[in-house]
Chain A
Amino acid sequence: QKEVEQNSGPLSVPEGAIASLNCTYSDRGSQSFFWYRQYSGKSPELIMFIYSNGDKEDGRFTAQLNKASQYVSLLIRDSQPSDSATYLCAVKKASKIIFGSGTRLSIRP
Chain B
Amino acid sequence: SQTIHQWPATLVQPVGSPLSLECTVEGTSNPNLYWYRQAAGRGLQLLFYSVGIGQISSEVPQNLSASRPQDRQFILSSKKLLLSDSGFYLCAWSVEATDNEQFFGPGTRLTVL
Q: Which residues of A contact B (CB under 8 A)?
A: 32, 34, 41-46, 49, 88, 90, 92, 95-102
Contact = CB atoms under 8 A, between A and B. Distances in A.
Interface in B29-77: 32, 34, 36, 42-44, 46, 49, 51, 57, 59
A95 B97 CA distance: 11
A39 to B, nearest CB: 12
A101 B43 CA distance: 4
A88 B44 contact: yes
Interface of B: 32, 34, 36, 42-44, 46, 49, 51, 57, 59, 90, 94, 99-107, 109
A44 B44 contact: yes
Nearest to B50: A95
Main secondary structure of the interface of A (DSSP, over half): strand
A46 B32 contact: no
Given A43-B90, A100-B43, A95 B101 contact: no
Q: Which 5 A-B pairs have the closest CB atoms?
A: A101-B43, A43-B104, A99-B44, A43-B107, A49-B101
A26 B42 CA distance: 19
A96 B46 contact: yes
Given A43-B106, A95-B32, A32 B100 contact: yes
B104 A98 contact: no
A49 B32 CA distance: 18
Given A43-B90, A43-B106, A43-B107, A98 B100 contact: no
